[in-house]
Structure 1
Amino acid sequence: MHGIYLHHHTVSKEEIDLLGHAGNVHYLEWTLAAATAHSSAAGWDWPRYAQLGAAWVVRRHDLDYRRAAMLGDALTIHTWVSEIRPASSTRRTRIERGAERLFEATTTWAFIDLRRGAPTRIPAEVRDAFTVLEDGP
């Protein structure tokens, strides 16, 4: 069981926009990368989901940008599952530079049958791989 997962990232030159800070789309990319890494660390990588015939897709993102990430910043991305329902889950993410909070996201994920492209119940083996924590760090 995995609760809060920590993912690390250093802001690269390619992620800097015309305003001189990390472009907004990159925060979302980092959020998704952390979620994928967390799932893999919990034993659920893409090949295992494909074998199961079901996987997660995003239904909704709620994003809150607080401060800008700059070139070379070492970021810590905290991510955790805050709720699991029969065919969906909610994941929360916080991105920090040291003790400074830069970004928060709440993402609703639907668990879908890959053949039908429709929601399906989350099997116990997937559900049990994640610890549900309402509040994070």
Structure 2
Amino acid sequence: MVWDYLQAFTLSVSPQVDDIDGLHHTNNAVYVRWCEQVAWAHSEKLGMRLADYHRLDRAMAIRHGKYDYILPSLLGEPLTLATWLVATDGKLTMERRFQLIRDRDQATILRGCWQLVCIEISTGKVRRMPQEFCEAYLPAISEPVSQPATA
């Protein structure tokens, strides 16, 4: 598959009956849910689980999310969703990117981007990333394969 960034973390997905809307294609909200699923799976692979977030009283929260819905997907269609961490200031913010490819023809059908900010869970206030976040996430920052399309 032709990914926008190096070292894709991927998840295979396929629209199910409940994912299909009145236009007979995957509802846009389903893509958002899939992005959340792949983001958590990626964080867990990097060693940061939800339990760690609670133990540290810190979380990377979505400040801004943007999705470009390029092509539709249909019931049962095999898809591969990738995610990457692509930028961080090492203190408060990170950027996560997404790309969804239709397996049968390798067409990119969605690109997404989250601007993340570190918060203290107990107060919701912006706080500096703990050392554990830096150790898990900073080495995972990926470089573009070529100039990716903006999401």
Query: If the length of structure 2 is used for normalisation, what is the TM-score?
Result: 0.84
Rounded Cα–Cα distance in structure 2 between residues aligned with 1:127 and 1:55: 12
Counterparts of 1:110-121 in structure 2, within 5 Å, are 110-121=117-128
Distance 1:93 1:38 in 2: 12
Instruction: Give the alignment partner of residue 132 of structure 1, picking from 115, 120, 141.
Output: 141
Greater strand share, structure number: 1
How many Å separate the matches in 2 of 1:52 and 1:74? 37
TM-score, normalisation: structure 1: 0.92
Could you say what the CA RMSD is over the residues aligned between the two structures, in angstroms? 1.4
Give the one of 27, 42, 45 matched to 1:23.
27
Identity %: 25
Unaligned runs of 5+ in 2: 1-6, 147-151
Match for residue 96 of structure 1 among 73, 92, 101 = 101
CA contact (8 A) 1:84 1:127 kept: no
CA offsets per residue over residues 88-111 of structure 1, 9 Å max, x none? 110000011121100000101111
Query: Is the Cα contact below 8 Å between 2:58 and 2:130 reproduced in 1?
Result: no
Match of 1:33 in 2: 37
Partner of 1:5: 9
Structure 1 spans left out of the alignment, 5+ residues: none
- Report what 2:149 is aligned to: none
Question: What is the rounded CA distance, in whole Å, between the counterparts of 1:120 and 1:134 in structure 2?
Answer: 26
CA distance in 1, matches of 2:145, 2:83: 8
Question: Alignment partner for residue 84 of structure 2, among 80, 83, 87?
Answer: 80
User: Which residue in the other structure is 1:68 paired with?
Assistant: 72
How many aligned residue pairs are there?
Answer: 135
What amino acid sits opposite 1:118 in the alignment?
K
Cα deviation, residue 132, structure 1: 0.7
